[in-house]
Amino acid sequence: MRGDGLKVVSGSCIAVIGGGPAGCASAIKLIKEAGKKGIRIKVIIFEGKDFERHYNQCVGVLSQPITRLFEEGLEMPFPGHLIKREIAGYVLHRPGSTLELSGESGTYATRRILFDRFMLQSAQDLGAEVIRSRVTGLEFNGDSVHIYTEDKFLKADAVVGAFGIDDGIADALEQASAHTFIYRRPPKVLDTIVAKVHIDLQVLQERFGNRIHAFIPLELRRIEFGAITPKGDHIIMNIAGRGLTSGDMDGFIAYPPVAGLVHDLDLSGLDYFKGRYPIRPASGICGDRFAAVGDATGLIRPYKGKGINVALETGTKAAETMIGKGLSAAALSAYPASFHHLYADFLYGNIFRSLVTVSIRTGFVDRVLNRAKDDPNLKDVLFKVVSGEGTYRDVVRKLSRPEELTALGLGFLRNLPVALIRR
């Protein structure tokens, strides 16, 4: 090990596996924090994909506090030039009814591939080296981490795991760290399918406007939720659920509230892209010479996601902890504590997700949406859920107010027998 124990010193080398938002945020912040201490470190980003060619599953919606994460966290301006559309509101759809939701949100649609290129270029401009190769194996030795890639072998002082949801590298880590408990359980995931449809600009504007259309297709059993997001010159349709197939996307497109919006668009030869996103945190996200960031932590918000925000925040915090405290397991134990609010909100998010699942199964969700039309508090809660504004803690607390509990609770009990007979 070069340097003083497990402290980062001039000449230390930190390898970042994955050049997505989390990896780039880590690289940018590592270099900036080291610079503040007057030390010069080597940061190497390994990225297996070519961002010029590969489609990214992500819809590319950036929501607040994205501006603060750039300005205060990464100490760089928010890249406003990447905004393709400012999202003004949301429309929740059920067969035969819609609910319009709007409020202060500062939500923007970007092209994810351009966002990724911008982040990687920013890291390179600061001096990070980018190696276009997949990492295939890791060994944690006492004094360094050995990294195997498709065409190189490298020794580093520490590794940032920014590989998203990648079974290959998760397996390699599990083997490499059998005795260190690093990354001993990868995140649990939900399937997603995405389709991109180019449409006439006038139709795009008139029909979809600057609003994200969200669907709760309780009639389509495997789909937990779906959305249509307007971008610069196209829309993105996406669905999430367990065990999804292309047939589920076909079903979503034929689902009456969706068909009402897309039936006359040219959907021939549509490409479907499969992906996943985490729904349960990984365990062992840090240890001697290792910190996982972004999706690899599994800390995405149920429904809204905000995965890019989590990526930037965890990437920034991991870098601050490595430079400020060191690379040992004890030093890095401060890292998860630095975003404790994400863990806390994850619990509330899961409580909320369970409530929604039960509401969907019992059909009670329709009563909630109808009631929200005349109930500003409930409408505000739903806006916060779909826009990602505020925390799930606030959402659950607002729903727990005595008047809401009485109205919703009685409604739910009234609905339950009907739902049980229906099943």
Ligand X SMILES: Cc1cc2nc3c(=O)[nH]c(=O)nc-3n(C[C@H](O)[C@H](O)[C@H](O)COP(=O)(O)OP(=O)(O)OC[C@H]3O[C@@H](n4cnc5c(N)ncnc54)[C@H](O)[C@@H]3O)c2cc1C
| Chain contacts with ligand X (rule: CB under 6 A) | 17-23, 46-49, 57-61, 134-135, 162-164, 166, 168-169, 192, 194, 238, 275, 277, 294-296, 300, 305-309, 311
Q: What is the CA radius of gyration of the chain?
A: 22
3-state class of 224 per DSSP?
strand
Min dist CB 203 to ligand X, Å, is 22
* Closest residue to ligand X: CB criterion: 307
Helices (H) and strands (E) in the chain, counts: 15, 17
Of 159 and 169, nearer to ligand X (C-beta) is 169
Min dist CB 363 to ligand X, Å, is 27
Min dist CB 195 to ligand X, Å, is 10
Min dist CB 250 to ligand X, Å, is 17
CA–CA separation, 21 and 251 (whole Å) = 32
Of 23 and 217, nearer to ligand X (C-beta) is 23
Q: Are 322 and 292 in contact (CB under 8 A)?
A: no
3-state class of 409 per DSSP?
helix
Can you give the three-state secondary structure of 131-160, one letter per residue?
ECCCEEEEEECCCCEEEEECCCEEEECEEE
Tell me whether strands 234-241 and 223-230 are parallel, antiparallel or unpaired. Answer: antiparallel
Of 7 and 134, nearer to ligand X (C-beta) is 134
Distances (CA, A) of 177 to 21, 51, 148, 161, 285: 25, 30, 15, 13, 12
Min dist CB 399 to ligand X, Å, is 24
Of 311 and 372, nearer to ligand X (C-beta) is 311
Min dist CB 309 to ligand X, Å, is 6
Of 287 and 307, nearer to ligand X (C-beta) is 307
Of 140 and 364, nearer to ligand X (C-beta) is 140
Of 6 and 173, nearer to ligand X (C-beta) is 173
Min dist CB 177 to ligand X, Å, is 15
- Per DSSP, 2 falls in state -
Scanning 69-127, the segments in alpha helix (DSSP H) are 112-126
User: Residue 119: which residues within 8 A CB-CB, separation 6 or more?
Assistant: 19, 20, 21, 24, 25, 28
Min dist CB 265 to ligand X, Å, is 20
Of 326 and 388, nearer to ligand X (C-beta) is 388
| Stretch (H or E) spanning 14 | strand 13-17
Please report the sign of the dihedral spanned by the C-alpha atoms of residue 170, residue 174, residue 176, residue 181.
Answer: positive
